[in-house]
Structure 1
Amino acid sequence: THWHSFEIHVVGLNIDRHNSVLQAFLSTQQQKRDERAAKIADKLAKCGFEGTLERAKRYARDGQITRAHFARVLVDCYSVSNMESAFKKYLGKGKRAAVKAEWASISEAVEAIHAAGGQAVLAHPLHYDMTTKWLRRLLTDFKQANGDAVEVVFPTANPSKQQLLCELVAEYGFLASAGSDFHLPGRWTELGRCGLKSDTLTPVWHDWGIIPASIPKG
């Protein structure tokens, strides 16, 4: 989603993937992603990397084309050393092949998730490198949009800032979630690496009936 100058990730849990409102929302997002992918490919061609869009499509298969697919193409086909270098040199914000994404608003995303019977979770808010004032503003707007939960545990989170986030989540009355932010094998985002431990927060899965509702203490 787009919020002020930030790209904010909102996770939908327990959704009905076939819901018509959600499908219409995702179709719009898909079109915007496709348009962005074509622009990225054009910029990469100007950097000397021809044919990246077709290769990225093959990596994505039936899924959405993301910058990670382009990064894999650069590593596998054009001798860029690794995924991190692909982003640092070409695909990251402000780099030669960067293209600003056009996303929905937070409230639109939450509305689509709720229409599909799901719960809306604000993902890794500390990743956005904002001040405490802006973090409070984000949580306030997410609350006004009827967001359900906030991810308080995730890789690379600074312990002191994570403690602050937990306090704010309790203050705003959100449920809590944890995630490894896994996209592909790597030293920072191993699948299942992060667990939620809290004496004060209620987990987003507390009433699902398929996962123990209690949180390990400590």
Structure 2
Amino acid sequence: MRDKQTLMKIDLHSHTHYSDGSLSPEELVLRAHNHQLDVLAITDHDSTAGLEEAQACQAGQKRSLQLIPGVEISTRWHGFDIHVLGLNIDPAHPVLTQRLAEQSERRDERAQKIGEKLAKMGFESVYEDAVRLAGVGQVTRAHFARALINAGIVSDFDAAFRRYLGKGKRAHVTPQWPEIPEAIDWIHAAGGDAVLAHPARYDLSAKWLRRLIVYFKDCGGDGLEVLHPGLSPDRRRQMASYAREYDLKASAGSDFHHPSRWTELGKNLSFAEDLVPIWQNWSIN
């Protein structure tokens, strides 16, 4: 399996416009082909809505590309938003579909409350603009940030979160996400592997990050995303060492949302050969 990994270009974390990505499933698949990917996981936030469209698009392509059905589930842990990737899932499994439907309702309720808070500040049109920007997908804080930028209220995403949308700010609404063990159970029920997404991105000290990883492992988690954008060489080595120390399989993904010079599908995602890949027991063609 490691021989395949060295020969194949694999990206196990990407988003479409069904969550907070800007590309349609078809556009994402075509971009994956343009960048010569062999394996791509589509992992929208709390949604599997784009998977069927992606498969339909790939069915019409001459070049091979294996699509791995996935999802990125939002959870809460000690007040932090922690994301768990479900990879190689059965997206039609009734447990998963029911729980994701409940997650969607929570997202809608949260978006409405954020919109109400912004309206009380005098920004009445921001919610409608965020809904418009979300299109077929779920309204996320990223859509609110874009709407705030479009309205000239803030200059960039950082300002939107720093002034209004971030934790403790005037338009922040604490999400009602499930606990980590619940998300892992949903993923396992659907036959998938549970991976702790972008562990180095959480605002955690080294001590607390270790606590999170240990807890994730104890709850039945399968893998750790050891490579994702923005990691320094030292942080890459640190994430790999955590995977070894806690006997977690390794995953890697671009966390692609939009075409940009900072992130790209399949870019710099090869990890050390002594790590056990999350796809070890999958049927990789």
The alignment's TM-score, normalised by the length of structure 1, stands at 0.88
The answer on whether the counterparts of 1:90 and 1:97 sit within 8 Å (CA) in structure 2 is yes
Correspondent of 1:138 among 204, 207, 212: 212
Cα distance change, pair 194–91 in 1 and its aligned pair in 2 (3 A): farther
The answer on whether the counterparts of 1:122 and 1:151 sit within 8 Å (CA) in structure 2 is yes
Give the residue type in structure 2 aligned to 1:90: Y
SS class of match (2:245): helix
1:175 equivalent in structure 2? 249
The answer on whether the counterparts of 1:178 and 1:194 sit within 8 Å (CA) in structure 2 is no
CA deviation digits over 1:70-111, x for unaligned, max 9?
A: 112122244532333322322222222121111101110010
SS class of match (2:212): helix
Q: Identify unmatched segments of 5+ residues in structure 1.
A: 212-218
- Where has structure 1 moved over 6 Å in runs of 4 or more? none
Aligned mates of 1:97, 1:143 — CA distance in 2: 34
| CA displacement at 1:53 relative to structure 2 | 2.3
CA deviation digits over 1:161-182, x for unaligned, max 9?
A: 3312211211211110111122
SS class of match (1:8): strand
1:98 equivalent in structure 2? 172
Higher relative contact order (CA 8 A, sep 6+): 2
Looking at secondary structure, tell me which structure has more strand per residue: 2
Cα distance change, pair 68–146 in 1 and its aligned pair in 2 (3 A): same
1:156 equivalent in structure 2? 230
Give the residue type in structure 1 aligned to 2:156: N
1:35 pairs with 2:109: yes
SS class of match (1:140): helix
1:50 equivalent in structure 2? 124
1:191 pairs with 2:265: yes
CA deviation digits over 1:6-52, x for unaligned, max 9?
A: 11100111111111100111122112111111111112112321132
RMSD (CA atoms): 1.8
1:204 pairs with 2:264: no
The answer on whether the counterparts of 1:123 and 1:151 sit within 8 Å (CA) in structure 2 is yes
1:71 pairs with 2:145: yes
1:85 equivalent in structure 2? 159
| CA displacement at 1:186 relative to structure 2 | 3.7
Cα distance change, pair 11–153 in 1 and its aligned pair in 2 (3 A): same
Give the residue type in structure 2 aligned to 1:10: V
Name the % identity.
Answer: 53
The alignment's TM-score, normalised by the length of structure 2, stands at 0.69
The answer on whether the counterparts of 1:36 and 1:101 sit within 8 Å (CA) in structure 2 is yes
1:127 equivalent in structure 2? 201
SS class of match (2:128): helix
Correspondent of 1:115 among 189, 197, 204: 189
Give the residue type in structure 2 aligned to 1:185: P
Question: Which 10-residue stretch deviates more, 107-116 or 72-81?
Answer: 72-81
